[in-house]
Amino acid sequence: MTLRRSALGTVTSRIAHGLRLLSNGRGPAGKGGFTLIEILVVVVIVGVISAGILLSVTLTGRDRELEKESERLVTLVNYAREQAELQTRDYGLLFYDDGYQFVAYDVRREVWRDVYEDDALRLRKLPDGLGLKLVVEARPVVLVPTAESKPTAKSTPKPDVKSLKDVTSLKDLSATTSKDTSLSLKDVKPTTPQVIIFSNGDLTSFEIRVEREDGVRSVTLTQDEKGQFIAKPMVERTT
């Protein structure tokens, strides 16, 4: 918005300067003004230049909605990492193609459940026009819409490994045993999260891309070489 105002201000200033010069140079003895046709021509020029500037800023400038959702996800992941360390508790991330949700692992009941005690980690759906693409351990993961995720009275079984800290791949997560419980719906998640936030703050190796549905712009979120979860600069597809 600041860029637009600055650019339009510059154009307006130059046009006004041109009008003054034109006016001062008109008529006998430097007096007089400019004709209606000249005014109309100037108005048209101002409109064309203004439209060009606005269009260029829209196409190549910032996508505030995309940036906002990316920043929110980065903040929430880092917040969940802090909570995992403070509570010595494993958290997880369930991604959908149009949203995401944090879950917590209940050691006593051996299930993944909603983090109903922390509203910040609730299910969040992205605004229309935005979507997610997930890659876990260099492998693309097919995501479903949030509408297809429905609670069930059957709990999510615990991975058949010694500890969640031993989970190193999606293969480990799929090695589960069947077990029914009588938990309430709010305590149950129908699937195992694709990403685990371990109690020591470590993350499953993953990359999530927030993008426009047409793929024209995207922001990739991942860990850097220092282990910090960050958002990379926005990328715009060129055609």
pLDDT at 230 (0 to 100): 94
pLDDT at 19 (0 to 100): 54
| Helices 36-60 & 2-24 angle (0-180, nearest 10) | 160
pLDDT at 180 (0 to 100): 40
pLDDT at 12 (0 to 100): 56
pLDDT at 138 (0 to 100): 92
Distance CA 92, CA 103 (A): 5
Every domain range in the chain assigned CATH 3.55.40.10? 64-236
Q: Please, what is the average pLDDT of the chain? A: 75
For the segment 81-92, the average pLDDT, to the nearest whole number, is 95
Distance CA 96, CA 134 (A): 9
Check pLDDT > 90 for residue 136: yes
Q: Is the pTM of this model over 0.85?
A: no
For the segment 25-34, the average pLDDT, to the nearest whole number, is 52
CATH code reported for the domain at 64-236? 3.55.40.10
The 3-class secondary structure across the chain, one letter per residue, is CHHHHHHHHHHHHHHHHHHHHHHHCCCHHHCCCCCHHHHHHHHHHHHHHHHHHHHHHHHHCCCHHHHHHHHHHHHHHHHHHHHHHHHCCCEEEEEECCEEEEEEEECCCCEEEECCCCHHHCCEECCCCEEEEEEECCEEECCCCHHHCCCCCCCCCCECCCCHHHCCCHHHHHCECCCCCCCCHHHCCCCCCCEEECCCCCECCEEEEEEECCCCEEEEEEECCCCCEEECCCEECCC
